[in-house]
Structure 1
Amino acid sequence: MGFVIWLLAAVSYVVGVVVLVAIVRRLLGVRVSFLRSAVAAVVALLIARPLLDSLVDEPVVTEEAPSGAATTEVLLYLALLTVFAFVVAMVLLVIAEVLVPDGSVPGPLDLWRSWRARLGRSGRYVEILRIATRHGLARFLRGRRHLALGTSAERRELARALRRALEDGGVTFVKLGQQLSTRHDLLPAEFTAELAQLQDGAAPIPWEEVRGQIRRETGRDPEELFADVEPTPLASASIGQVHAARLRTGERVVVKVQRPEIARDVDRDLDIVSRLAATLDARTDWARALGVRELAAGFAAALREELDFRIERDNMIGVAAGLADGNGGHIRVPVPVAPLSGSQVLVMERLDGVPLGAAQHVLARLGEQERRRIADTLLQTVVDQLLQTGIFHVDLHPGNVLVGAEGSLGMLDLGSVGRLGAKTRRAMSQFLAAIGTGDSMAATDALLELVERPEAVDERGLEQALGVLILRFTAGGGVDGAAAFTSLFGLINDFRLGVPPEVAAVFRAMATLEGTLRAIDPGYDLVTEAKAMGRKRVTAMLGPTHLKDTMEQELGALLPILRRLPHRVDRIADAVEHGRLSANVRLFADARDRRIVTNLVHRTLLTVLAATAGMMSVVLFTIKGGPMVTAETSLFTVLGTSLFLVSVVLVLRVLIIVLRREEP
């Protein structure tokens, strides 16, 4: 019997805590974690009665007291105790919000997961710090200014140390360095030149591990899927390796297999990169100026895409569809074998040829004129991808270009591609056309459409600076494309213009493409050829066919407006004639404006009500006499106490809204 009573008491206590939590969270009017509210409720239930008894006497029921008066006094005490418990819980929550804001301390489950993850990262942290220290980079993590980097030679030495440290760090850091090597807008030329030498190579993994990966991904052994497959890889990189194979139908293919456990290692390293970026952003000025947190987030998204071979499969299909219309079959991408491909295994057509970096003997046989034609075709294809199809190869370095015996080209490794919307493609086309004609005003307008402009821009100064830049790099003669891109990025930084990730990918692709074009034709001038293409694009836009298509598109868009225009003009004229023309301006038409005003009114109203209730309670406490509820308590005292509690609740609600900075 005693156990049953104890169980019922425990259940009633738990129910009381839950009810108290629900009412307190409702009275506060803001989101408070259930755990924090439950702790406050338990503490309030434990201390509410002793605190109340220290302020007022607990009613004592005696045999001489009238039963009605005793019952009323007990009910008033219980009501006061209940409300007092609510007030104590709310006060505790407000104090907790002042000392430790909600969300600033993780919960028990999050804390346990955090400690497990931290223990898992600790060994990697030590390894990274050891690598940084070995290459002399640890001193740059302290946030101090380093005056020893004022000369080009000193910057080259630091860049060399950084490259070696990234190579020792593994796949994630090698990929990070490769991406940074194309960000001429962020890093000095010494760093981009050194980081461009990073090699994405790795020792091959044993064939048995490759077989296991294929079996896990497809559910079958390689011998069941292919007529034959070469155990020796054609190439081995940090993410995966490639094996030659032949389908049972006879087609020659290559099988790209992801390294086992690479996704887990990359996730761990990306978490470390993100945390290091956050630390550098908090402690150093140069990291905040470069926007390292945004860089880390963009890099993580791109690398995770590269780990999913299904994305590369879809990229190949999209790029192939764009190439089918324009280059006469001179440039191809492998056709994926979709039924045999998955997230970690990619089967694709095997293209004939050798990588561009090792194809000098093939190019030498083709002759100078043919090499120039191949380079023109590649540049025209990339420009068409940028301005027409909107999907383009971001990292078209010589290792990702295959050269056939007849001079045909193949694009490889489409795990990372860029995508441009119609508006960006149109602005990019206008920018290229303006460079081709030397129109600095049109180039400025197009550039401002491409970048993220701040609130105030010196457009006149930007136009003059851009005009000087166009004259400098399009005046004729051999032009260094890398210098042109560096100068353009310097101009963007000088005028505090932000570069969106998709636009940065365009500049990265063009900067990488220049090295590839010069590997095909050492004398190729990317800037001059791009300018010529811009002039051709302007000429084509002024041609009869293009003008006709443009007029049809514009008229198609204007036709519905033109149809409604006479009727609307007639209605306006009729309203003017009869004096009914008026302008209707809706104040606070925007929902955000209405929400701001509503919140201000609500908070002001809560404050006024709290002050009014408090003053009324003080007045009622000062009134002597009046109707008696019990032998010692008057009705005015009960009303004053109630209004005082209402005032306290409203004040606490306003306080927690202000402290949390949330909408009520």
Structure 2
Amino acid sequence: MAALDFGGYTLLTIAALIFLLIQSWLAATVVRRVLGVPTGWPRTIAVGLVMSGVMAVTVQYLFRAGTGQNVGGLDVAPGVALILLLLATGWIFALGVGVLVMIEAAFPTGSLPGPQSLLFGWKARRRRGRRYAQVVSIAVRHGLGSQLRGFGRTGSPGRESKTARALKESLAEAGVTFVKLGQMLSTRRDILPPAYVRELETLQTQVTPEPWSVIEPAIEDRIGAPISTVFSRIESTPLAAASVAQVHEATLLDGTEVIVKVQRPKALHQVSQDLDIILRLARWLNRTTVWGKDLGIENLAKGFADSLEEELDYRIELDNMRSIEASLQRSGKFAVTVPHGYPELSGERLLIMDKLPGRPVSAAGSILRELSAEERSHLATTLLGATLEQIIGDGIFHADLHAGNIFIMPDGSLGLLDFGAVGRLDPATQTALGLMLYSIDQNDSAGATDALIELLGRPEDLDDRGVERAVGELLTRYGGSAGAHNGQKLFDDLFTLVRAHRFSVPAPISSAFRAMASVEGALLVIDPNFDVVAVSRTEGKRLMRSKLKHTKITDELQRRALQLLPMIDRMPRRINKITEDLEQGRFSMNMRVLANPSDRRFLTSLFQQLIVAVLAGAAVVGAIMLITSEEGPLLTEGIHLYAFFGFVLLFGGFVLSMRALMLVFRRGVDG
């Protein structure tokens, strides 16, 4: 008997829980429908459970009040108790809506981890939180925290230099990902002041090589075979060690000297964790600072994350290497060597390529001293010509041409290394960039201005005449013999012009500017007297003339004429119809206002918010008038019928107000 009673209680409890869950789900569904926006189910179900619990207590209390069992409390007729129950039900629902609106306002749906993440992702959150705290403490220790909100404001040069130095030191201490972020920012002269660029250009990573006991199994794992089956020899001491990878010399079984670039085993995990932190910081700065929003720092961080993820995939670097090699071979004008890669031995985290003889420009002082002035000038001209040929002629170019990535070969030719960063330009951008260089060579400020606008896009409220005057001043200043060290000054002045007129530099064009700016350092190491501006003008003119050969112009005109033929065929008939309509008074013009669906949605949403707000306000005002009225019949002792209707009307006004607030919050998030 006791077992039967226990089983009955268990079944009754289960049935009650199921009923409570169904009731809570129904309440949550109604709340979501009333609010008019998709709030998160977990929080909505939680609010529904609380509403169900309060409702159960209220029903019990009013049942006792209507049946005379509420000793010392409310005692009313059963009909009045039922009416009060309906009113209480409405207000419990309204308060649940209000609680959900407050939760949604404080913590929008999607801003908090979901139940699955809370249960199973706590280890990852703890690691991220520990790393986040470490990065923030580094910034605060270097005095960067107090400078963040004031970044970009006009201040003394000393204060700007201090902030730039604090930023550099913070990034250097934070590790590889942040160092690479600083190196990328150092190339964005279009968004950063010169003081920051100068500091960030000095960022370097000092790393200890991984021991051979860690690297050897990593290589074997990535080639899928023992090292002895691929290499006859491999040096255990790295030729170079960076924060993400290290490089070892080796010899294939056929005697070919190669370079083995292997990614550190833990590098990918560390970079992924740091990228997550950078993206979170960028979103916060974009939301809380004016300069972050002006710079588009969130999009900048996303672009950096995408480019760094590509750099970590050596299959992409192998494809880049082959693309640049094919580009240089198509040109055939410059003796520049690209190492041959071995795709059958390489992979996502391992790259094997031929070893280039010679020395990098940064360490080739002894080789350069043995060359004559003419030979050094020829080398520099070849390097700059090959760079411009890639950018303007082919559209595929090496985007990181610093002195460590350029080799001087024993035969006096040049070689290129490290193809993790490669830029690509579409034909229209190549032509616009070439026209800008061509116009600079011709001292044509109007043509250079048009090319610059075509290249970067037109900002709102652009002062065309002001841009043309600024470009004309640049042409006047650098129109003659620029001198060896004025090239960088030209770039600085050009980017100052870009920032002053609020141009936005797309990522591919930024890569092209980065390539031209970074190669200048190597050019001046090769030949300190090299005239970068003069040779750039000459090469730009040559490239544009080759693009604008007579046969190419003829082909282009023919192609455009073929595109115009269908329109030309229909033009006489259309002109005839227009003239007839004008003659007979039938000519009319139709304009569709708000033809764009997004415009219609915006206005509809705006009117919905306005109507809901007006109805809510009217309901609340009417409710207050009814509640404060002392006239009319009594529903029960001390409760006027008008007051009851006032509370009903106030319930409607409250719910409408919550819906209006929710629409405002959601529109702010979506906008």
* TM-score, shorter chain, exceeding 0.5: yes
Aligned to 1:584: 590
Alignment of 1:184-203 (within 5 A): 184-186=189-191, 189=194, 192-193=197-198, 195-200=200-205, 202-203=207-208
What is the percent sequence identity of the aligned residues?
A: 37
Which one of the candidate residues 375, 379, 382 is aligned to 2:380? 375
Q: CA deviation at 1:315?
A: 1.3
Alignment of 1:225-624 (within 5 A): 225-274=230-279, 295-328=300-333, 330-364=335-369, 367-451=372-456, 453-479=458-484, 480-537=486-543, 539-540=545-546, 543-606=549-612
CA distance in structure 2 between the aligned counterparts of 1:283 and 1:615, rounded to whole angstroms: 37
Give the letter aligned to residue 663 of structure 2: I
Superimposed CA distance per residue, residues 125-174 of structure 1 (whole angstroms, 9 cap, x where no aligned partner): 556655x37xxx787568599999646xx987887776666555442343
CA distance in structure 2 between the aligned counterparts of 1:293 and 1:614, rounded to whole angstroms: 42
Q: CA deviation at 1:407?
A: 2.1
Give the letter aligned to residue 223 of structure 2: T
Is the contact between residue 437 and residue 534 of structure 1 (CA under 8 Å) also seen in structure 2? no
Is the contact between residue 327 and residue 377 of structure 1 (CA under 8 Å) also seen in structure 2? no
Q: CA deviation at 1:501?
A: 2.9
CA 1:607/1:195 → structure 2, altered by over 3 Å: closer, same or farther?
A: closer
CA 1:284/1:9 → structure 2, altered by over 3 Å: closer, same or farther?
A: closer
Is the contact between residue 259 and residue 355 of structure 2 (CA under 8 Å) also seen in structure 1? yes
Q: CA deviation at 1:234?
A: 2.5
Is the contact between residue 377 and residue 530 of structure 2 (CA under 8 Å) also seen in structure 1? yes
Aligned to 1:66: none
- Secondary structure of 2:352's match? strand
Aligned to 1:117: 128
Q: CA deviation at 1:613?
A: 7.9
Give the letter aligned to residue 459 of structure 1: D
CA distance in structure 2 between the aligned counterparts of 1:642 and 1:286, rounded to whole angstroms: 49
Superimposed CA distance per residue, residues 398-418 of structure 1 (whole angstroms, 9 cap, x where no aligned partner): 210122222222210011122
Give the letter aligned to residue 556 of structure 2: T
Q: How many residues are matched?
A: 646
CA 1:400/1:98 → structure 2, altered by over 3 Å: closer, same or farther?
A: closer
Is the contact between residue 253 and residue 348 of structure 1 (CA under 8 Å) also seen in structure 2? yes
Is the contact between residue 214 and residue 222 of structure 1 (CA under 8 Å) also seen in structure 2? yes
CA 1:636/1:489 → structure 2, altered by over 3 Å: closer, same or farther?
A: closer
Aligned to 1:43: 50
Give the letter aligned to residue 660 of structure 2: V
Q: CA deviation at 1:296?
A: 4.3
CA 1:276/1:655 → structure 2, altered by over 3 Å: closer, same or farther?
A: closer
Moved more, 181-190 or 415-424: 181-190
CA distance in structure 2 between the aligned counterparts of 1:283 and 1:100, rounded to whole angstroms: 16
CA 1:282/1:561 → structure 2, altered by over 3 Å: closer, same or farther?
A: closer
CA 1:19/1:508 → structure 2, altered by over 3 Å: closer, same or farther?
A: same
- Secondary structure of 2:331's match? coil
Alignment of 1:96-135 (within 5 A): 96-97=103-104, 109=117, 112=122, 114-123=125-134, 125-126=136-137, 132=142
CA distance in structure 2 between the aligned counterparts of 1:345 and 1:43, rounded to whole angstroms: 56
Q: CA deviation at 1:566?
A: 3.1
Q: CA deviation at 1:658?
A: 3.1
CA 1:568/1:471 → structure 2, altered by over 3 Å: closer, same or farther?
A: same
**Are 2:4 and 1:22 equivalent residues in the alignment?**
no
**Are 2:128 and 1:91 equivalent residues in the alignment?**
no
CA distance in structure 1 between the aligned counterparts of 2:182 and 2:665, rounded to whole angstroms: 43
Moved more, 386-395 or 598-607: 598-607
- Secondary structure of 1:375's match? helix
CA distance in structure 2 between the aligned counterparts of 1:117 and 1:657, rounded to whole angstroms: 33
Is the contact between residue 218 and residue 265 of structure 2 (CA under 8 Å) also seen in structure 1? yes
Aligned to 2:221: 216
CA distance in structure 1 between the aligned counterparts of 2:560 and 2:285, rounded to whole angstroms: 50
Q: CA deviation at 1:514?
A: 1.1
Q: CA deviation at 1:460?
A: 1.2
Is the contact between residue 58 and residue 88 of structure 2 (CA under 8 Å) also seen in structure 1? no
CA 1:456/1:464 → structure 2, altered by over 3 Å: closer, same or farther?
A: same
Moved more, 386-395 or 76-85: 76-85
CA 1:572/1:176 → structure 2, altered by over 3 Å: closer, same or farther?
A: same
Give the letter aligned to residue 448 of structure 1: I
Q: CA deviation at 1:60?
A: 4.1
Q: CA deviation at 1:554?
A: 2.6
Superimposed CA distance per residue, residues 609-649 of structure 1 (whole angstroms, 9 cap, x where no aligned partner): 66788899999x99999xx9xxxxxx999999988766654
How large is the Cα RMSD of the aligned pairs? 4.4
Superimposed CA distance per residue, residues 310-335 of structure 1 (whole angstroms, 9 cap, x where no aligned partner): 22122112222222200346112223
**Are 2:13 and 1:6 equivalent residues in the alignment?**
yes
Which one of the candidate residues 36, 41, 44 is aligned to 1:34? 41
Moved more, 142-151 or 357-366: 142-151
Q: CA deviation at 1:351?
A: 2.8
CA distance in structure 2 between the aligned counterparts of 1:155 and 1:649, rounded to whole angstroms: 52
- Secondary structure of 1:324's match? helix
Give the letter aligned to residue 4 of structure 1: L
- Secondary structure of 1:254's match? strand
CA distance in structure 2 between the aligned counterparts of 1:401 and 1:304, rounded to whole angstroms: 23
Moved more, 515-524 or 396-405: 515-524
Is the contact between residue 149 and residue 155 of structure 1 (CA under 8 Å) also seen in structure 2? yes
Is the contact between residue 44 and residue 89 of structure 1 (CA under 8 Å) also seen in structure 2? yes
- Secondary structure of 1:432's match? helix
